[in-house]
Amino acid sequence: MQVDTRMVVALAAVAEESVDEVVACAVSEGRKTADGVYDGSELDLTRFPRRVYTNGVTALEPLPRVSRWNDLAAYGVNIWIKRDDQLGLVMGGNKTRKLEFAMADALKAGADCVVTAGAVQSNHARLTLAACNVEQLDCYIVLEERVPGSFHSDASGNYYLYRLLGAKNIVVVGTGEAAATMQTLKHELVAQGRSPYIIPGGASDEIGAKGYVRAAQELREQMNALSDTIQFDAVVCASGSAGTHAGMVLGMRGSGVPVIGVSTRFDEAKQQNAVLTLSNKLAHACGAQPVSPSEVQVVDKYVGPGYSLPTRESTQAIEVLARTQGILLDPVYTGKAFAGLLGLIREGHFRPGTNVVFLHTGGSPALFEYQPLTE
Ligand SMILES: Cc1ncc(COP(=O)(O)O)c(C=O)c1O
């Protein structure tokens, strides 16, 4: 792969500088009640190692124009957005928060390289490559071709960015083969005297998902700051490899604000089980009480024909948000999640006057590969 190494080195140097700068202003948190019971805002994450890849917090903003767009006006729901698409590292998105904990754990374990996996247009792979550049670790990427024929070695979007970031070690496998391939790679690297660290797909384990407990705590502070005038009623996010949804469920616990995950791949039962299982591992790791099934809400009506395949609703959701608010979604995750939110509004799921937060988890680089325009 031809790469301009000067560019990669320059990028790493800039990122490293901002890591050092922002450590000093990391949010302080961690309170435990006298009886030892935690709600999400009281979980102490400061005892876990964390690298800092974002300077400050992401904005919580109202979206008045899309809230009153065409037929939506009749429902009177106020849509807000939490701009995690503006997190640090290359073009932001939810993986940045997860990688803060995953990369810190890799460094603590003494790793000299990272092995991870994702789909062919994986945002997680892009951000893991970026984090590895910052930390000066080699990065091994396993790409799973979930839709037959969807991998193109000249692809744009995230795949172009992998090359720009200097990816040298990319393996493409069939659907369901990523986990085993990562293990094989790990053994090969160990045999070569390396110290690999596996970050699972999406950094969705009890380490990476702490990033979304932290995100929920940040969001709660923002909601509390507005609580004199605004009462928030729900958070809606994309639910894929489950880490974001699981972290949000645990972090929002006790706030009275439910989290609704819009599935981007699996049916409700399978996705609910994945989120619940991970939420419980996370609860255990954070010293919190187990999560009950009723805390995990999944909507599966917006997957359409399958993972990463656009639907009329997701394409319209992407276009509407771009044209009313100038905000880009992505075709694989947030387009479907925002379509889910608009669908819930039209079904009358939220009462008039309700304030609902859409968690924007990023992903817009994939637009350049999928180009979902209807016209
Ligand atoms: C842009 C974007 N949004 C949402 C998700 C889903 O998050 P999670 O995998 O934590 O469920 C992903 C996962 O890859 C993503 O890339």
Range of the domain at 181: 94-203
Here the CATH number for the domain that contains residue 30 is 3.40.50.1100
Do β-strands 259-263 and 232-239 pair in parallel, antiparallel, or remain unpaired? parallel
Q: How far apart are CA 275 and CA 277, in angstroms?
A: 6
What tens digit of pLDDT does each residue of 316-325 get? 999 999 999 9
Find residue 138's DSSP bridge partners.
113
What tens digit of pLDDT does each residue of 168-211 get? 999 999 999 999 999 999 999 999 999 999 999 999 999 999 99
Residues 296 and 274 in one domain: yes
10 belongs to a structural domain: no
Maximum Cα–Cα distance for the chain, whole Å? 64
Ligand 1 center–CA 33 separation, angstroms: 32
7 belongs to a structural domain: no
Residues 305 and 161 in one domain: no
Is the sign of the CA dihedral 144, 146, 149, 155 positive or negative? Answer: negative
Q: Given the CA of residue 361, which atom of ligand 1 is nearest to it?
A: 3
Q: Which two tokens stand for residue 330?
A: 């992505």
Q: Given the CA of residue 334, which atom of ligand 1 is nearest to it?
A: 3
Residues 278 and 164 in one domain: no
Ligand 1 center–CA 338 separation, angstroms: 13
Residues 74 and 116 in one domain: no
Q: Which two tokens stand for residue 249?
A: 């469920």
Q: Given the CA of residue 244, which atom of ligand 1 is nearest to it?
A: 10
DSSP H helices in 192-261: 210-225, 243-252
Nearest CA to ligand 1 atom 9: 241
Point out the domain boundary residue: 168, 203, 238.
203
Ligand 1 neighbours, Cβ below 6 Å, are: 93-94, 123-124, 202, 204, 238-245, 330, 333-334, 361-363
62, 330 contact by CB (below 8 A): no
9 belongs to a structural domain: no
Average pLDDT of the segment spanning 69-73 = 98
Q: Which two tokens stand for residue 185?
A: 């790679």
Residues 53 and 109 in one domain: no
Q: Which two tokens stand for residue 189?
A: 């690297």
Q: How many domains, in total, are found in the chain?
A: 2
Residues 130 and 199 in one domain: yes
Which CA distances in Å does 277 have to 292, 296, 305? 10, 10, 26
Nearest CA to ligand 1 atom 1: 363
129, 55 contact by CB (below 8 A): no
Residue 350 DSSP class? S
Sole residue written with tokens 């099934």: 293
Residues 349 and 294 in one domain: yes
- Give the 3-state secondary structure of residue 235: strand
Residues 178 and 222 in one domain: no
1 belongs to a structural domain: no
Ligand 1 center–CA 239 separation, angstroms: 7
Average pLDDT of the segment spanning 300-312 = 95
**In this predicted structure, what is the pLDDT of residue 331?**
94
Residues 49 and 111 in one domain: no
Q: Which of the residues are catalytic? A: 122
Point out the domain boundary residue: 156, 180, 203.
203
Total number of residues shown for the chain: 375
User: Which mutation among 96, 123, 212 tests ligand 1's pocket best, with the greatest number of atoms within 8 A of CB?
Assistant: 123
Q: Given the CA of residue 243, which atom of ligand 1 is nearest to it?
A: 10
Ligand 1 center–CA 37 separation, angstroms: 30
Amino acid of residue 167: A
5 belongs to a structural domain: no
What tens digit of pLDDT does each residue of 45-68 get? 999 999 999 999 999 999 999 999
Amino acid of residue 126: R
- Give the 3-state secondary structure of residue 364: helix
Ligand 1 center–CA 204 separation, angstroms: 9
How many alpha carbons lie under 13 Å from residue 5 in its C-beta half-sphere? 2
Sole residue written with tokens 């070695």: 153
Q: Which two tokens stand for residue 62?
A: 């109202």
Residues 120 and 162 in one domain: yes
Q: Given the CA of residue 362, which atom of ligand 1 is nearest to it?
A: 1
Residues 331 and 345 in one domain: yes
Residues 152 and 48 in one domain: no
What tens digit of pLDDT does each residue of 227-279 get? 999 999 999 999 999 999 999 999 999 999 999 999 999 999 999 999 999 99
How many alpha carbons lie under 13 Å from residue 266 in its C-beta half-sphere? 14
Q: Would you tell me how many other CB atoms lie within 10 Å of the CB of residue 222?
A: 18
Nearest CA to ligand 1 atom 3: 361
DSSP H or E segment with residue 140? strand 138-145
Point out the domain boundary residue: 203, 235, 268.
203
Ligand 1 center–CA 206 separation, angstroms: 15
Confidence of residue 372 (pLDDT cuts 50, 70, 90): low
